[in-house]
Amino acid sequence: MKLTMPHYDKAAVLVVGDVMLDRYWHGGTSRISPEAPVPVVRVDQIEDRPGGAANVALNIAALGAKAVLVGVTGEDEAAESLADSLRGAGVATHFQRIENQPTIVKLRVMSRHQQLLRMDFEEPFQTDAEALTRQVEQLLDQVKVLVLSDYGKGALQNHQALIKAARERGIPVLADPKGKDFSIYRGASLITPNLSEFELIVGRCEDEAELVSRGARLMRELDLGALLVTRGEHGMTLLRPDHAPLHLPARAREVFDVTGAGDTVISTLAASIAAGEELPQAVALANLAAGIVVGKLGTAAISTPELRRAVQREEGSERGVLSLEQLLLATEDARAHGEKIVFTNGCFDILHAGHVTYLEQARAQGDRLIVAINDDASVSRLKGPGRPINAVDRRMAVLAGLGAVDWVVSFSEDTPERLLKQVQPDVLVKGGDYGIDQVVGSDIVLAYGGEVRVLGLVENSSTTAIVEKIRSR
């Protein structure tokens, strides 16, 4: 299955469910309380993050999609903190605020990246289900996917009315289910229970065959479009009527904190489907996203550059020959990760020791090296008839095989000035005996605050000399 990054900017998702505030008190601890055998934490930082359905909406917005959130809160400081955080991230919020009831808050006391204590402040909400349904119906025409983010806290009372309203408009409904009764999700396009939640409904599954057969029965009973069972370190299993099961292995390199991983899965699924991806590709993207988020502390959103880099790694395209469009995306990701981009250019017709040494020196000027090479027609114009010796695709393949080179791209003009204007590298490097003002494109790079560096070349190494020597024999 080939993965590509969806156009999340074309996606719009409505999330309805239980919003909550994840609050973190951070501090050091170096002693035990004299009052009881517990550590004393000196709190020096308080951090608020959207949780539950709010975290789903935040993840969708972080991917670049339009996120709309409907939920229930109190009339209190926690609700204001939630609304401010979400609006700042670009999430359109529609809260049903209930007086004299607290917004759900999960307070975690942290020290040295370890959770010492969690305190929950919550009461079941007395939601006005009909008013919430009307509000959702008014918003459905603005979106392409509806997500029911159900934590069993009382915001979702009328599941069937919401599913019916979306299906009448041809809008897929994705549900992250909770509780012992999955019949409330009847008719959903997809539900995403974890293995424990799934087995609570269908009974313990001794192996994958039993999981598949019981999942198929559940889909028939509830008229589900699909079922995705998330299985922790065993990955995910996607079941669809009349399709073979799709088993995806876990992608986490290191599991640090599983908090919010389910939110990441359904948000990536929803945004990907809303962007036009088929379900298997959307599930594969969600699997990659989950592998990223469990390496972070607490509820956390992943960004488009993070997911794109994971896709590139998965497809083996993190390095190598790129088109201009791919290069611009790669450099955007590199900058998002704080990497310094170096650019050099040339014909590189016959690669020799001088080239290799020069490219290693160029790579040492930053974190990522772009090598832009003249295409065949421009080499002929610059070097004369009979050149290049090697066609552009072969020259690019050889350069891409060097450890010092990250990305190779070709250009058709005699100079790389157009490329420089679009890529805007941090450092422009040229080899030879030049002044900086003599380097082609130096004025472009210096104008936007970049650097230009001239490196020496290895003596007695010249492609032209090599060609002349071969021809003289």
Give the active site residues. 263
Q: Measured between alpha carbons, how far is 13 from 66 in angstroms, rounded to an integer? A: 6
Cβ neighbors of 394 (< 8 A, separation 6 or more) are none
Look at the chain and count its residues: 473
Identify any residues that bridge with 17 across adjacent strands, giving them in sequence order.
149
Tell me: is residue 196 an annotated ligand-binding position: yes
Which one, of 22, 88, 84, lies nearest residue 52 by Cα? 22
Q: Measured between alpha carbons, how far is 383 from 291 in angstroms, rounded to an integer? A: 50
> What 3-state DSSP class applies to 447?
helix
Tell me: is residue 195 an annotated ligand-binding position: yes
| 16 in Cβ contact with 149 (< 8 Å) | yes
Classify burial at 76, counting beta carbons within 10 Å of its beta carbon; exposed 0-12, middle 13-18, buried 19 or more: middle
CA 219 vs CA 194, 265, 280, 313, 374: distances in Å: 15, 20, 17, 34, 57
| Residue 378 dihedral angles phi and psi, to the nearest 5° | -70, -30
Tokens of 6: 């969806």
Tell me: is residue 390 an annotated ligand-binding position: no
| 268 in Cβ contact with 307 (< 8 Å) | yes
Phi/psi region, residue 246 (left: phi>0; alpha: psi -120 to 50; beta: rest), is beta
Dihedral, 362, 367, 368, 373 alpha carbons, nearest 10: -10
Tokens of 150: 């159900």
Q: What secondary structure letter does DSSP report for 319?
A: S
Q: Measured between alpha carbons, how far is 280 from 239 in angstroms, rounded to an integer? A: 10
Q: Measured between alpha carbons, how far is 58 from 71 in angstroms, rounded to an integer? A: 13
Cβ neighbors of 105 (< 8 A, separation 6 or more) are 20, 21, 23, 78, 120, 121, 122
Q: Measured between alpha carbons, how far is 378 from 323 in angstroms, rounded to an integer? A: 18
| 304 in Cβ contact with 63 (< 8 Å) | yes
List residues forming the annotated binding site: 194-197
List residues forming the annotated binding site for ATP: 194-197
